[in-house]
Amino acid sequence: MAELYYQDTYIKLYHGDCRDMCEVGDGEVDMVLTDPPWMVSKEIRIHRSINPKKHKYVGRDIYLNFGEWDWFASEDEYYAFTRDWLTEAVRCLRNKGHLISFFDQRKVTRLIEIAEELGLIMRQHLYWLKTNPTPRARKIDFVIALEYACWFTKGTKSGATFNYQLGQQANYVEAPIPGHTTKLDGKRVHPTQKPVKVLMTWIKYLTNAGDLVLDPMCGSGSTLLAAKLLERRAIGYEIDDGYCEAAANRLRQSVAIEDEQKPSRQSKPCSASEKPVFESEPDGLSEKPPKWSEPLKLSEKPLEKSERRIKWKN
């Protein structure tokens, strides 16, 4: 059994293995959002400051070893691990619930195969577009500015939560790599830490206030923090006690961030038509929308058919 490491009104953080989440009941969670190991670590160090007089840009050396958690003896072992954690996550997920997993795009075909065997429906590819991608140390290829995720729904997508009334959202979210870039992310404490902004976007579209979000490999706790800021409940599992402590510290310090997310008292109240509307309200919760959800983006009135024609200049 896992050890309960941290708890508050919205969050439960367990120190335990993602392949054994017995504290979570069958079909209990509304959404799974996680970033598993990618098996991409290498014993390579790229030097970027050999001749600072020659190059204007001098950066820190790049290490491609992310940690012990990203090393596997073989691809067979890695895919067996992937099947194990995904099987447990699907058990915890309710019917019509959503699952989003970041993944190495070169291995994503196998992820989709395993997910579909477990009863998940592949919905779309989602992307994090980095606004400050790491410059390339070697002048042989393009800067990598995208990270890839797969969105699945369990059982059937008919009737699954999608808060379209929040406005049309592209399948990518722009955000910087964490590391003193935003107050939401704070200091980067995990080598593959994801921006809270990206996670909040997906959570607010695919869940409602009071819903339960699960991150089986929560690392520094970004998913838990994003859920908390949106008034969703969340459960996280992390096998590394150091990252458990880092996540707990971020969640303890989240009160100041929450205050910043609240609407200003001097701001003009939203009209009834601008307030977010949710598909359904969980039992026992207030009918009011989440305090920090974004205002409803109303689309403009559609053009008449005659106005859609393009007028060409002679």
Q: How far is CA 103 from CA 50, 106, 118, 141, in A?
A: 33, 9, 17, 21
Q: What is the pLDDT of residue 282?
A: 40
C-alpha closest to that of 36 among 17, 53, 55, 52: 17
CATH superfamily of 3-44+62-262: Vaccinia Virus protein VP39 (3.40.50.150)
Residues paired with residue 128 on neighbouring β-strands, in sequence order: 147, 173
Angle at 286 between CA 280 and CA 291, to 5 degrees: 95
> Which residues make beta-bridge pairs with 154?
120
pLDDT digits (tens, 9 = 90+) for 225-261: 999 999 999 999 999 999 999 999 999 988 656 655 5
Mean pLDDT of the chain: 80
Q: Which two tokens stand for residue 233?
A: 């409940």
Read off the pLDDT of each residue in 264-280 and give the average, rounded to a whole number: 41
What pLDDT score was predicted for residue 139?
A: 77
| 65 pLDDT more than 90 | no
Q: Domain residues of the chain, as ranges?
A: 3-44+62-262
Secondary structure (3-state) at 123: strand
- Nearest Cα neighbor of 175 from 206, 201, 149 is 201
Its pTM stands at 0.74
**Tens digit of each residue's pLDDT (9 = 90 or more) over 194-213:** 999 999 999 999 999 999 99
Contacts of 283 by beta carbon, 8 Å cutoff, 6+ apart: none
